[in-house]
Amino acid sequence: MTSPHQKNAQPKKEVAIGDFTLNVSNTWAHVITTISLVIIALGNFNDSSDALEKLYNFSLAQFTTIPSQNKLDTLYIRASAETLSSTFGEPVYLKQSYKGDKIRYYRDENFILSAITRDQAIVAYLVFPLHGFIPNTHAHAGGDDLLATSFTQQETVKQFAATHARTIRYYLESNASGEFSNLYDSIAGYSTFDQTMTNTARTALVALSDAQVFASSTATALHTLRHALTPNFFGYSTLGLKEIEDAILTQSEFHLISQ
């Protein structure tokens, strides 16, 4: 007698990829065959090992965020500026800081990166995750949960800045702790480049921004704001916050780059 599992089991089918043969269900056979045909159409199916590698990389990029994280893993402060072009290609947007440093923006499927270079070296960069992407922040002062917990999880603040303008609203802070705190600061921030703020956070941001302008006490507004917000971008830097502020992604820049 045939068991129910045997009755419902999908028939197997062999699929050849170069010198390799895979024994898979019809469903996966169609998927693998379709992907293989795409690679063949691109004209890069030169040999079996190359074909298998391209199929693997294609599948990896389609179904995981590993390639995006691998790109970020190549970056570090004081690395050659050439690392940016070799990893991300040409920048999608260029501008200068108020001090004349070059700011380059790069677009990945899962994040937008802004990097500041000086004397052919990376001196600061910010990562703006997209589509729920959760990058590795283990080396950051905020640790692995940086983008999932409020700013208050980072107990000390070295510097902070807040802006409430028509084109962008943001809060930014630097922290002198983290895995490489002897080499550079950890940066965390919240920007409205792709989302809106709660009324509580907006009120606190306006109060903090005004307090900075008029040189009044910032303690209450800062405490409220850090409780109300969770970072939605992060980075690392050897620069002061004033210089990093120029690299924060604005709403207009986000819409332009994301087209």
Residue-wise burial string across 44-65, b where 16 or more C-beta atoms lie within 10 A, e elsewhere: ebeeeeebeebbeeeeeeeeeb
Whole-number pLDDT of residue 252: 92
Residue 13 above 80 pLDDT? Answer: no
Q: Cα(152)–Cα(224) distance, rounded to whole angstroms?
A: 10
Cβ-based neighbour number of residue 102 at 10 Å: 14
Residue 44 above 90 pLDDT? Answer: no
Query: How do the domains of the chain map onto residue ranges?
Result: 4-63, 78-257
Would you place residue 35 in the very low, low, confident or very high pLDDT band (cuts 50, 70, 90)? low
Residue 164 above 80 pLDDT? Answer: yes
pLDDT, tens digit (0-9, with 9 covering 90-100), for 180-201: 999 999 999 999 998 889 999 9
pLDDT, tens digit (0-9, with 9 covering 90-100), for 69-97: 999 999 999 999 999 999 999 999 999 99
